[in-house]
Amino acid sequence: MAFTPLSQRRKSGKMHTSTLLIAVGVLIAAYMVYSYIGYNHAIKNGYDSGNEKKISFIVKKGDSAKDVGKTLEQKGVIGNSTYFTKYIESQDMDGKIIAGEFDASPSMSIETIASLLADGKGIKNTITIPEGLSIKQIDDRLAERQLIQSGEFVDTVKKFNNYALYPFLPQQQMSGTNIPLEGFLFPDTYGIDSGSFSSATLIDLMLKNFQKKLPTNVTQLLAEKNISLFEMVTVASMLEKEVRHEGDLPIVSGIIWKRANSGWFLNIDATILYELQKKTLTKDDLKQDSAYNTYTRKGLPPGPISNPGIKTILAALNPQKTSHWFYITDPKDGKAVYADTNAGQNRNRAIYLK
């Protein structure tokens, strides 16, 4: 057996280490060059140059460049929040970003977006209230835009007493709800003046819009189905929280109405989440008896749990008759899976809610 002299092995080891260090150095240099090129490209070019779709996002008061970068990346406006943060800091703009709601597109460069945020010219003079928000969530959105102090919108709603101006409002039924007007503030985009914003003015606009958007034959449709406007809006508000695909709306509407009219428990998590102001429920939450717990109380909850849009309102007005009594939502694609019996519902749970 031949042996390599110790001195030769040491020399070989040094050569191997040297080669490894060189390789690592080359990789680091290549990475730095790649990052530099990527950074400069992102500064001057859009993340998706062909995509000019406007994406709305909110910059909160006190947000750092890192916070804003994360928001933009999560919204799909930019592809790399680190590049955004680096650019803002390099331009000494971290303290110059203005709070507000903005529109930007993936076709815009980081340089352009930064300028938009710093000069304030891009601040929207509108407020968008998406379908399905509760009054508390609308309050949160207005506070994010710094249009109000947190809680101000809710307080204004609770003090509302102009029912004579809106004869369609079911004042008596509303008195039994946690927050009056819930369900009747129509979600839409509204023009605003940040300098003179008023919660009362926005409420007026939303109520008038609700009345305007209702079908002209709504009174006839309600009479034919022997339901009240308040009950219809309550069902529509649950559909907003329960259904993800538009095609499922009339079917789930039919199931909810059928169960409510038959004296069944609705077993809808969203009603409890609304009352508890939570995002997830525990087993104990489901067991606690309360007015909005549709696992312990039969029929419809005391009132709406969100402010529905026109699609869910129409679905609540025009439920589809089926043999189904049960449904669950497939977490993979958001589509509803139906069952006619409790045994079928249990099978679907075992398959889709593993």
DSSP helix, strand, coil percent of the chain (3-state; round to 5)? 50, 10, 40
For range 41-57, the mean pLDDT: 87
Tell whether 114 and 237 lie within a shared domain. no
How much is the pLDDT for 192?
86
Query: Is the predicted pLDDT of residue 31 greater than 70, yes or no?
Result: no
**Three-point CA angle 150, 154, 159, nearest 5°:** 130
What are the tokens at 132? Answer: 């399905």
Q: Are 145 and 100 in contact (CB under 8 A)?
A: yes
Query: Is the predicted pLDDT of residue 347 greater than 90, yes or no?
Result: yes
Q: How confident is the model at residue 63 (pLDDT cuts 50, 70, 90)?
A: confident
| In a domain? residue 236 | yes
More confident residue, 40 or 161: 161
How much is the pLDDT for 226?
95
How much is the pLDDT for 15?
57
Residues with Cβ < 8 Å from 24, sequence gap 6 or more? Answer: none
Tell whether 115 and 229 lie within a shared domain. no
| In a domain? residue 167 | no
For range 216-241, the mean pLDDT: 96
Given 96, 119, 142, which residue is the final one in a domain?
119
How much is the pLDDT for 119?
81
More confident residue, 178 or 339: 339
Q: How confident is the model at residue 100 (pLDDT cuts 50, 70, 90)?
A: confident
Residue type, 16: H
Given 66, 84, 119, which residue is the final one in a domain?
119
CATH code of the domain in which 113 resides = 3.30.1490.480
Query: Is the predicted pLDDT of residue 27 greater than 90, yes or no?
Result: no
Q: Which residues pair with 46 in a beta bridge?
A: 109
Query: Is the predicted pLDDT of residue 222 greater than 70, yes or no?
Result: yes
| In a domain? residue 30 | no
For range 44-65, the mean pLDDT: 86
| In a domain? residue 348 | yes
| In a domain? residue 9 | no
Given 119, 145, 170, which residue is the final one in a domain?
119
Arithmetic mean of pLDDT over the chain: 89
More confident residue, 354 or 238: 238
How much is the pLDDT for 16?
62
How much is the pLDDT for 3?
55
For range 211-234, the mean pLDDT: 95
More confident residue, 13 or 20: 20
Q: pLDDT above 70 covers what percent of the chain?
A: 89
How much is the pLDDT for 145?
86
How much is the pLDDT for 9?
53
For the ranges 18-22, 51-55, 288-292, the lowest mean pLDDT is seen at 18-22
Three-state SS string over the chain comes to CCCCCHHHHHHHHHHHHHHHHHHHHHHHHHHHHHHHHHHHHHHHCECCCCCCCCEEEEECCCCCHHHHHHHHHHHCCCCCHHHHHHHHHHCCCCCCCCCEEEEECCCCEHHHHHHHHHHCCCECCEEECCCCCCHHHHHHHHHHCCCCCCCHHHHHHHCCCCHHHCCCCCHHHHCCCCCCCCCCCCCCEEECCHHHCCHHHHHHHHHHHHHHHCCCCHHHHHHHHCCCHHHHHHHHHHHHHHCCCHHHHHHHHHHHHHHHHCCCECCCHHHHHHHHCCCCCCHHHHHCCCCCCCCCCECCCCCCCCCCCHHHHHHHHCCCCCCCCEEEECCCCCCEEEECCHHHHHHHHHHHCC
How much is the pLDDT for 49?
83
Residue 20 is inside which H or E element, if any?
helix 6-44
| In a domain? residue 38 | no
Over the Cα atoms of the chain, what is R_g?
A: 28
Record the pTM.
0.76
**How far, CA to CA in Å, does 154 sit from each of 61, 92, 279?**
21, 39, 19
Structurally, the chain folds into a number of domains equal to: 2
| In a domain? residue 180 | no
Residue 304: domain span: 218-352
Per-residue pLDDT reduced to its tens digit, 175-214? 889 899 999 999 999 988 877 899 999 999 999 999 999 9
| In a domain? residue 301 | yes
Residue type, 277: Q
How much is the pLDDT for 136?
97
How much is the pLDDT for 5?
58
How much is the pLDDT for 13?
56
